[in-house]
Structures are given as structure tokens and as C-alpha cells.
Structure 1
Amino acid sequence: MNMAIEKMQKFNLITFYNNQDAVMEQLQDFQQVELFSASQFNKQANAFFSQMQEHPEADKIEDQIGNVTWARDFLTPYVEKPSMIQALRKPLRHYTLRQLSEHAHTFDWKNIYSDLRKQDKRLRAIEQEKQDLSLQEDELNKWQYFDEHPAVLATFKETIGVLGTVPNTEINQLKKEMGKEQLQNAYLEIIHQSSTTSYLLLLFLRENQEEVQTTLSDAGFQEYEYPYEDKPAEALRQVKEKLHQLVEEERSIKARLKAQKNNYKDLGLVAEYLDSLFVRVHSNQYLLQSEYTMDLSGWVPARQTEELDRQIRQVVGKDYFLEFAEVKEEEYSNTPVLLKNHKLIKPFEALVEMYSLPQYWEIDPTPFMMPFYALAFGLMVADFGYGLLLFVASALAKYFLHFKEGMKQNINMFQICAVPTMMWGLVYGNIFGKQFSFQLLSTDSDITEILVMSMIFGFIQIMFGLGLKFYLLWRRESEKLKALLQAGSWMLFLVSAAMIAAGMLLVPETNLQSVGIACLIISLVLVVIGGSLDGNTIIGKIGSSLYSVMDITNYLSDLISYTRLMALGVAGGSIGAAFNLILSYLPTPAKFTIGIVLFIVLHGLNIFLSYLSAYVHGIRLQYLEFFNKFYTGGGRAFKPFKSNESYVQVVSEQKQQQGEE
């Protein structure tokens, strides 16, 4: 069995067709199988079975999902939601498929959906009416001081009365024209004036109509047709009253929507149930059927085979045939990968998944990466106070708050990394940028020693990666020579380089340097030979050999990359010390007032930057300097046949019973 990767088996189940719904629901509740087309398990099955047709309820269920989703989305802006902290303080609620089904069949969500549609339609109508009334209000505001009904203007016999507008730039000229002798009986009154337009009442004799209209036309006059029955002021009052009524109605509707907090939550449960139901009916694409039976296949972890048999027997009795098959080597590339690690290592699986899951035939790099990543993380922060703060904050967060599994594992990872951070903080003698009286290594005077230590750390991890490569190649019967020449040769090269450095710097009076040079030459010869194994032709073998020698620069650059462990650790400590120095210049009263605030803010900034740098550069070292020595990746994640958990956490009945116990 592959290290830290669940061993998988294929299974094939044949049972009566009328058991389909019960079996699929049981498998979905089990949450430990991944389905694939049953025709892939046994090619001869096509002689007895045919592809199952689309489930007749699929379209109906999809429409229902759309309706429930719309209802939740519609309520989202109105329903008051708890703050992030309030939400995290509440324990996570877990539901089984049976509980979701019972809720969906007892909760009258269809009537709620219908009512919400009506409310939505009314709100849209209110919004349109408000816009129309707002335009009317704006229009009437300009004529409200005309204290007569405009219809009276049409009753004059000898006189013509009109309402209209002219640009402000023309008003003075219009007054001047209207004041001429031939128009001396005309009357002009400005009812309202905005920044650009004047709103006018004009009265003039019918016998002067032609002259007046020419004058008005020259001034850009636009006649206004009054559309209301009442006087402008009264019409304005009525419009405002209607607007007020609409606002009150809208407020009342939104208040009722805001009060539907429980319905919002219950709709989420219904949506989860329908989503799980759609997953089940959509699984018909994997199933085969005959006149009386159905055939389905999938992947299951080997340790769950007996439990799978029990789950099937629980719903169909003895009316089934269940067969298991080992995974063949040619099927490795398509076999799903499910990692399994100790609880201290599991939080680091997310880092591997960010890069790529291992292929089924590989080893899981998580347990090998975890100690190096944690130590490197601590070395790049290297402050006892920062590490203690992270450890305590993580512990308090897990104790008082309730996180989903993914976030909880991330918090666990940072809490684990806090331990080596405190350890290296003690080595450097740093606590919140202040140095202890005792120090194993000083970031001020022992820079060279810290640099050498970082390089040694990198040397060990690279050698470890090559050791894993040697192991992976050696365990294949046909790859043992490659293990010696492509992994062993580089291990000898690095050891030889270390011997030469030690002979030059530590024990120059010995023959260690000469021995190292001889071993280095032998390793390079082996590297060239090992490189030729990848070529298929003479020219290809020569090219591969020369190219393999160029990896010398890669290994040297890999070692140099580990100097960032020293650089970031020293930089973070120096920045923290600089902040403390700045605060030391404050007067004594200020140190205990604004000084405390500055201490928290400045060190908070340094903590954030230190942890961010350690997180990112720690990942970089694993991906580029460690993984490329032995790790291929490209595996496919195990996707269990279960609910998508878009709204709530769904657990199997067995797990819920275990939790209750």
C-alpha cells in the first residue's frame, strides 16, 4: 500500500432495478464511494445491460432547485445576518440526508416561494410607480405657485393664456420684446426659475397672436400642456401623498421579508436536499440496466469494503451481487487519490494539494515535507513572542469559535508552526524584537553562523529529497540502475562538495579536501552516465548526458535559495528591534499611553509581514527546491458520491450516531 495514500479498490454492484433509489440514497449517505461508468468495470456487461436513461425527475428537480435558490437569493438582502464572529461562535449544525428529506417534505417551501414571487412583483411595481411619481413631483414643484387651474386659460375669449418655458439666456430679451408698444397689452410672469430654465405664464390679446408667437419662437419658447385635473399645488400634494403611501407599503413589505430569517434558513436546508437529490438522479449516467436489474461501479477505499457490503445489505437484504477488484498498474493514472495522515500531519495536506496531488503509484510527500516546512517557517520568523502569540491565538480561536474542516486544518497548521517559531526564538534570544540576556545565536553578531546553518538545513532537505527519489526508483525492478546513477550520483556529488568545503574551512590539515575532489569527479562521471539512460539514440544519450551535468547550477542555486531562511529571520528581528528603539525615545508618560498603542500596531504589522513571508517562502522552498527532486504529482482527487454541501454540512447517519455516543 502506498505510503499515506489510501489503497483503493473497484467495486461492481448488481441488484434489482426497483432498488435503485434506496441504493443510491444509501451510497450517498455512506460518502465513501466514487462512481464511474459500470461499463468500464466489465466490458462484457454491454451484452446484458444497456445505458440507463436520464432520470424522469431530473428536469423537475432542477427547476425546483432554481426556484428555491431564487427565493434564498431574493431574501438575502433583507434578512439580517450575524457578523462573522457571531456566526463562528455558533456550533456547526450537521444534518443527515434523512433529516434533510424530512424537512423538505414537511416545510411548505412552495407556498413561500409563490408568496415571495408576489412580493417581488409588487416591489418592482412600487419602484416603477415611485419613479413615475417622482417625475411628476419634480414637474409640479415648478408650477405649484401658479395658484389657478391651468384649464382656466382655455376659457378666455379675447385673451390667450399659455404656460411654457424659455432658456434663462433668453428671458431678458423676451421681456424687452414683450414690452414693445405693439405688444403693450401682453402679460409675462415668471412662475419658477431654475439654473437654466424659466417657467412662464403668458397672457396676450388674440389680435396679437401672430406677433407674440413669432417673438416666443425666436426666444425658444416651449409650451407646456398641463395634464392634471387639480391645481398644481393640490396635484403636488396628492402626488406626495401617493409617494408616502408607496414608501410605507414598501417599508412594510421589506419588514415582512426581514422577519423571514427562519424561512431563509429552512430554504437552505431544502436547497441542500434538492441538490443532493439532483446528484443522485444525475448519477444515471454511470449506471447500466437490464429489464429487471441495475449495474453500478465505483471506487472505494480498501478499508471500507466490508462496510460498503454492510450498507448495501442494509437496504436490499440478500438481493444483490457485490464484487471487488484490485487496481491494476495500468489503471493507476485514473485511480483517485485520497490522502491519509496523522492528525499532526494532516493540516499540511492543503499545501500539497495547492501544488498537485500525488499520483496513485507515488508516495504522499506531506509527512516528509511537514517537518521541513514547520522548521523553515519558524526559522524565518524566529521570535518567541510572535510564536507564543500565534499559538495562543490559534488555541483560543479553536476553543471559542467553530470552523469548517478546511479552515480548522489551516489554523492547526499555523499552531503547529508556532512551536518551531518559539524554539528558534529561544535560539536567537528574541521576544517581540527584544533580545534575551542569553543567546545561542545572535542576529547581530552571528550572521555567518546563521547563514551556514541555513545552508546546512537546505543541504539536509535536498539530500532527503534525493533519498526519496532513490527509494522510489529502487523499488521498481527496472529502475534500480537509475536509482544509483540519477539519484545516488547527485547524493555523492553533494556529499563530495560538503567534504571539499569542510576540508578547506574546518580541517585544512587533513586529506578530506583531496578525498572530496576525487569523489566529486566520480560523481560527475556517474551523473553523465545516468543522464545517458534517458536518451533513446546515440545522439539523444550524448545530449541527455551533457544536459544532466548542467543540473550542477540548479543544485547550487537550490542551496543558495535557503539563505532566505537567514535573511527573513534576521530582517524580522531587526525590524522588531528598530520599532522598540523608536518607542524607547518616547517620554515615560507617553510610553504607557500612546506607546502601548504604537507597540501593538507596529509589532502587529511586523507579525503579519513575518508570517506572510514565512508562509509564502516556505511553500516556495518545498515546491521548487524539494518536490522537484522526487515528486511528479498530477493525481486526481477522490470525489465521494455525496451532497455538495453548498448550504449546510451533511454527515452520514453512522457518523452522526458515533458523535451522539
Structure 2
Amino acid sequence: MAIEKMQKFHLITFYGKRDTVMEQLQDFQQIELFSAENYHKKTDSFFSQMQEHPEADKIENQVGNVSWALSFLEQYIEKPGMVQALRKPLRHYTLRQLSEHANTFDWQNVYSDLRQQDKRLRTIEQKRQELSLKEDELNKWQYFDENPAILSTFNETIGLLGTVPNTELNHLKEEMRKLQHTYLEIIHQTSTTSYLLLLFLKEKSEEAHDILNEAGFQEYEYPYEDKPAQVLKQTKEQLQQLASEEKSIKTRLKTQKNNYENLGLVAEYLDGLLMRVNANKYLLQSNYTMELTGWIPAKQTEQLDQQIRQVAGKDYFLEFTEVKEEEYSQTPVLLKNHKLIKPFEGLVEMYSLPQYWELDPTPFMTPFYALAFGLMVADFGYGLLLFVASALAKYLLNFKPAMKQNINMFQICSVPTMMWGLIYGNIFGRQFSFQLLSTDSDITEILVMSMIFGFIQIMFGLGLKFYLLWQKERAKLKALLQAGAWMFFLISVAMIAAGMVLVPDTSLQTIGIVCLIASLVMIVIGGSLDGQTVIGKIGSGLYSIMNITNYLSDLISYTRLMALGVAGGSIGAAFNLILSYLPIPAKFTIGIVLFIGLHGLNIFLSHLSAYVHGIRLQYLEFFNKFYTGGGRVFKPFKSSEAYVQVISERKQEQEDK
């Protein structure tokens, strides 16, 4: 239970074996590359930076094409529901299987066909918009049952089509009526605009146009040859044809689920291939050889040697070196823990990975977090439901590894939840006939227990700090006066409290006060060790006393263990009380629904609160006692696994046996 020990590896082999070696390293999935220039200073006298891979641009374009095809198809294929998707087994492929699939599946033709269909759909959409505008225009003139071109054939009369605002229509009618031999017909009318046909004599043209301009008349130029109704009918038929064609194309696209899945495999292959060719930035080359370096877990060194030997034979040089202390800040971090501890690694990663030289806080945090989670829910029924739900989810559904670890974490936390539920005697808000602690009458005892829990965890954190400082050659005094002094202070406070409450007639309180004074002196001296000058040492020593408030507030923070546990139980009991007032017929009908709904809400809120506040206690009250963080995650040279799970040949062989 610690941080995986890392080593650096240095590999030199013939340049002609580059592609097979890089593919083998990617299949290995247990190394992280870094620039070979950083390995040793003399390298550049023999090697030079490797040039960009000649296929890099081509492969990058292929990745873009396949990604576009997947995004395009995703709009149309039927997507399974969440449960249905999780029921499907995870697909596992090796790099070789992905390569074979990419080389046999004619994805270029699929991509080309999808491009053509996309282009046609865009053309249809553009044409539809044009025809829709045309239809909207013709809808307003369809009741003019003549070809508007006839208006330009009159000898003595001028005919116009156009629009005026409705507010000017009556005024326009009156003014046109004053002219002799005029005609005004309303073809169509909306809430704001009137569409008109106007006829008047050519000899009255000037007066008529003045009247029309005053009314805000806008002349309409009819652009079509046939009557509006005929053109409108043709337009609607064209729209129907486009809709039918679009529906046919989308129906064909919906049937391409197999192509979508196959394109996902191609995308995974190309992503891994692009990663390999882009790895040139880490490599050095000479006339005949190539050099690469990287990080590897120490326990995998022998296996790496075997992997390279499979493709390079004896034509390679492989060297492993230990990580030096000055390289700790650049060394990637990979956590290794027991299967019961591993699910809690995600909580540490959310905060920050430990640095390579640090302790992994996961195994030390796990029991405290699980117990705190149980204390804040503290209902046997809620814990049992969480345990069963987690077990069924893992059995019936197929999750990715990260999600499965989260479910494992909640399943582990359900055990202390049931344990504290038995101690409190709670099951779905009801109380057992036996209770070690009652959330109704033993509030003070539960509060004290929560404080003791916090006291133990804080002392444990300080103990870890003491251990870490003691391991350093020049920090043993700090271990005693910075970590040890605060442990002494907290013990002194506990002695005073015990002397006041538990054994008031003894000298324990007096001893505690003496120890408290001594611990404060030690704290001041310990704080002064961080100062650089005499004044600085005095200032930092006195300032360290201010941390008393921090430690007291840390202890008080653990009262949330009592508050949330009692609150959840009280809310559950309140729900049960409300349901008890229902008449008997209602209890076995709507009462069952209400019971499930109300307790379901309380379960969700209780577990969410326990999850969030449990994390807060670890991050703020525990980690700050000994933990620095800031480590860099180990990034293995492997595929991104965006579409399928990519496993090594070795793992595939083990599964086949």
C-alpha cells in the first residue's frame, strides 16, 4: 500500500525497427515516455532530434475524417438507453485486432458516402428554405386569379400589385375614390399589412402615385410566369419531394449502426497510430539507430525486456536506472493499494496525487472515511439498500473500470452504515427494541463520540507528520517540536477535559494544565524553527500559537458526524409518523408509494451529504496535518480508449486460457 516504485529506462535499437518497437511499447501499456534529450547530456553528440513522422499529417487527417463520420452518424442512429447501454458487455480489442479491422473495413468508402449524403442534406435544407420563402410569398398572392404579367399589357390603364400598412388602408381607399375610374381590391390581409391590386388611368398616373406614396404603398414585382396559385402548387410539390428525399436519406442513415460501431474501432486504431507517430518528439536518432527513454514501474522491467526482445531480437540495448532524489518532482505517480483500498484512490486524486517522495494517504484515509460515512447515514436499512444496489449494479451492468471503482467504494461504505445503524437501532427511520445509542436521548454521548472520532483522526494525521519528518535527516527536531508538540497539546486538552468531567476528584486536570503549558512552549519553539532571522524566529514562534484555533475548529467540524446522523434518522422518523396517520386502506396503496418516494429522497440526501462532508473532513481536517500533494499522474503510452477497451496481447492470452 504505497506509491509504485518507478525506474527510468533507456532503449537503443535500429531505426528500421521503429514502428514495430513503438507498437510493442504501446501494447505493453506500462510505460510513459519523456524526451530522450533529458536522459543524459552527451546524447546530442551522437543523436539528433527525430524528424516528424512522414505519415503524421496523413494520419491526422484520417483521424479527423473518422471523427467527423462518427459525429455525423451519431445524429441519426438509434441510441440505446442508459441501462441498455450498460447491459452491453465492454468490448476488448488488442492493437493487432484493431489494425486488422481498420485494414479490412472499407471505412474510406463509408466516409465518402456519408460526405455525399451530408452534402445532399445540406442542399435539401438550403433549397427548402428558399422554397419556404417562396411559398410564404405566394400564399399572400394566390387569390389573384390572373397572371400578374397581364397588368403590363393594358393600353389606357396602369395595374399595380403592392402592399400598404393597415393603418393607411381606409385613407388610401378614400383618396383613390376621389379619382375617377380607379379600382382597389384587397387580395390578402394580415394583422399589419394589406396586399392590394390597384387599377387607374394612365392620365391619372401622377396623382395616383402621389396618393400611393403618401400611404406608404410598396409596389410588388411578380417574378414568375404562371399564376400565383399554379406556382404555389408547384412549390408545395417540390417541398414534398424534398421532404420525402430527406426522410429516405435519414432512414438509410439510421440503419448504419454497424458502420458506426466499425468506425469506432477504426477511430481507436487511428488514435493509437497517431499517438505512436507523434511520439517522434520524444525520440532521438542517428544514422542507423534510434533512442528513447521513459518511466516504468520497477516491477515491470523484466516484462518490458521480454516485450522488446519479441520484436527486436538481440538488436537492442536496454538499461534501467533508479530515480534520483533531484528527479522526484518530475517522476510520475502511480498508486498501488489492496483491492479494498483501491476504490478510495479516486478521492485522493480529486484532491491531488501525492508527490513521489510522499506517503500515499489512501490507506490511512480509507477507514476514517468509511466510518465517517456510516456515522452520517447510520441507518441499517439505508446501508443494506446501498449494499444490495451496488452488488446488483456490478452483477447486472458493465461499467468502465473507473466507474466500477466508485461503485465498490459505496459498497464498502455501506458496511459501516449498517454497523452504525445497528448501534443506533435505526432501520428506515424506525427504531429497534434494542439500542446501544439512541438518537433521541443520547445526543450528548453521540456528540462526544464524534469529537473523540475527530480527535483520533487528527492525532493519527499528526503521527504521520511526525513519521515523515523523523525520516528526514535534518528534520528530527521539527518532528518533535512541530508534530510531537501538537500531539502533546491535544493530549493535554483531553486530560484537562477528562479531569473536569470524568474524574473531577483527581489531579488529572492539574497534570493536564502543566502538560498544556509545556506543549505551548514546545509549539513556540517549533514554530521559531521556520524563521530565518532572530526577529523572524520570534514572530513565527508566536504566530504558531494561532494554530490553536485551527485545531479546535477541526475538532468542532467532526460534530457534523453527529448532526447529519441524527438529522437523517429524524427525517426518516418524521416521514414514518406522517404515514402512520393514513387510514389503513391508504397505507397499503398510496402509503407504499409515499414510503418509497419519501425514504428514497432521504436516502439520496443522506448518502450525498455523507459523501460530500466525508470528503471535506479528509481534505480540510486530516490531509493538512501531513499531506502536501501536487504529484504528477502516470500517463501510460496507450490508446485513449474512447470507443473500446484496448488490452495487451499478454492479457488477451491470459483471458483466453
TM-score (structure 2 length as normaliser): 0.98
Distance in 1 separating the partners of 2:323 and 2:575: 60
Distance in 2 separating the partners of 1:490 and 1:261: 64
Structure 1 residue aligned with 2:10: 12
Structure 2 residue aligned with 1:334: 330
Per-residue Cα deviation, 1:255-311 (whole angstroms, up to 9, x for no partner): 111111111111111111111111111111111111000010011000000000000
Structure 1 residue aligned with 2:355: 359
Structure 1 residue aligned with 2:397: 401
Structure 2 residue aligned with 1:176: 174
Distance in 1 separating the partners of 2:220 and 2:379: 79
Structure 2 residue aligned with 1:605: 601
Structure 2 residue aligned with 1:564: 560
Structure 2 residue aligned with 1:68: 66
Are residue 573 (structure 1) and residue 608 (structure 2) matched? Answer: no
Distance in 1 separating the partners of 2:651 and 2:319: 25
Alignment equivalent of 1:143, drawn from 121, 141, 147: 141
Deviation at 1:45, TM superposition (A): 1.4
Per-residue Cα deviation, 1:102-135 (whole angstroms, up to 9, x for no partner): 1111111111111211111111111111111111
Per-residue Cα deviation, 1:63-111 (whole angstroms, up to 9, x for no partner): 1111111111111111111111110000100111111111111111111
Per-residue Cα deviation, 1:181-233 (whole angstroms, up to 9, x for no partner): x41x2222211111122222222233333332232222222222211111111
Deviation at 1:585, TM superposition (A): 1.1
Distance in 1 separating the partners of 2:423 and 2:293: 56
Per-residue Cα deviation, 1:326-360 (whole angstroms, up to 9, x for no partner): 11111111111100001100000000011111111
Alignment equivalent of 1:391, drawn from 367, 372, 387: 387
Write the mapping of 1:397-436 to structure 2, written as runs, cut at 5 A. 397-436=393-432
Distance in 1 separating the partners of 2:519 and 2:209: 107
**Aligned residues between the structures:** 657
Alignment equivalent of 1:314, drawn from 310, 334, 342: 310
Identify which range, 390-399 or 208-217, moves more after superposition. Answer: 208-217
Secondary structure at the aligned position of 1:11 is classed as strand
Distance in 1 separating the partners of 2:552 and 2:207: 99
Secondary structure at the aligned position of 2:3 is classed as coil
User: Gapped runs of 5+ residues in structure 1?
Assistant: none
> What code does the residue aligned with 1:360 have?
Y
Structure 1 residue aligned with 2:460: 464
Secondary structure at the aligned position of 2:474 is classed as helix
TM-score (structure 1 length as normaliser): 0.98
Identify which range, 275-284 or 107-116, moves more after superposition. Answer: 107-116
Deviation at 1:52, TM superposition (A): 0.9
> What code does the residue aligned with 2:147 have?
H
Distance in 2 separating the partners of 1:470 and 1:320: 47
Alignment equivalent of 1:97, drawn from 95, 101, 112: 95
Secondary structure at the aligned position of 1:510 is classed as coil
Structure 1 residue aligned with 2:259: 263
Secondary structure at the aligned position of 1:241 is classed as helix
Structure 1 residue aligned with 2:76: 78
Identify which range, 23-32 or 146-155, moves more after superposition. Answer: 146-155
> What code does the residue aligned with 2:433 have?
S
Alignment equivalent of 1:57, drawn from 52, 55, 58: 55
Secondary structure at the aligned position of 1:10 is classed as strand
Secondary structure at the aligned position of 2:492 is classed as helix
> What code does the residue aligned with 2:152 have?
A
Deviation at 1:477, TM superposition (A): 2.5
Deviation at 1:597, TM superposition (A): 1.3
Structure 2 residue aligned with 1:88: 86
Structure 2 residue aligned with 1:36: 34
Deviation at 1:401, TM superposition (A): 0.5
Structure 1 residue aligned with 2:244: 248
Are residue 374 (structure 1) and residue 370 (structure 2) matched? Answer: yes
Deviation at 1:155, TM superposition (A): 2.2
Distance in 1 separating the partners of 2:497 and 2:171: 100
Secondary structure at the aligned position of 2:451 is classed as helix
Distance in 2 separating the partners of 1:533 and 1:158: 111
Distance in 2 separating the partners of 1:515 and 1:214: 111
Alignment equivalent of 1:293, drawn from 283, 289, 294: 289
Structure 2 residue aligned with 1:593: 589
Identify which range, 134-143 or 237-246, moves more after superposition. Answer: 134-143
Write the mapping of 1:450-489 to structure 2, written as runs, cut at 5 A. 450-489=446-485
Distance in 2 separating the partners of 1:202 and 1:301: 91
Write the mapping of 1:543-558 to structure 2, written as runs, cut at 5 A. 543-558=539-554
Distance in 2 separating the partners of 1:59 and 1:422: 58
Deviation at 1:464, TM superposition (A): 0.8
Residues 321 and 206 of structure 1: CA distance in aligned 2, closer, same or farther (over 3 Å)? same
Secondary structure at the aligned position of 2:353 is classed as coil
Write the mapping of 1:18-29 to structure 2, written as runs, cut at 5 A. 18-29=16-27
Distance in 2 separating the partners of 1:462 and 1:479: 21
Are residue 111 (structure 1) and residue 109 (structure 2) matched? Answer: yes
Deviation at 1:32, TM superposition (A): 0.3
> What code does the residue aligned with 1:95 have?
Y
> What code does the residue aligned with 1:39 have?
E
Structure 1 residue aligned with 2:225: 229
User: Gapped runs of 5+ residues in structure 2?
Assistant: none
Distance in 2 separating the partners of 1:402 and 1:29: 24
> What code does the residue aligned with 1:208 have?
K
Are residue 448 (structure 1) and residue 471 (structure 2) matched? Answer: no
Alignment equivalent of 1:645, drawn from 625, 641, 644: 641
Alignment equivalent of 2:270, drawn from 274, 282, 292: 274
Deviation at 1:579, TM superposition (A): 1.0
Distance in 2 separating the partners of 1:202 and 1:489: 102
Secondary structure at the aligned position of 2:475 is classed as helix
Structure 2 residue aligned with 1:616: 612
Distance in 1 separating the partners of 2:87 and 2:402: 17
Distance in 2 separating the partners of 1:330 and 1:207: 102
Alignment equivalent of 2:163, drawn from 147, 165, 168: 165
Alignment equivalent of 1:202, drawn from 185, 198, 207: 198
Identify which range, 280-289 or 171-180, moves more after superposition. Answer: 171-180
Name the Cα RMSD after superposition.
1.2
Distance in 2 separating the partners of 1:304 and 1:168: 85
Identify which range, 491-500 or 8-17, moves more after superposition. Answer: 491-500
Distance in 1 separating the partners of 2:37 and 2:392: 52
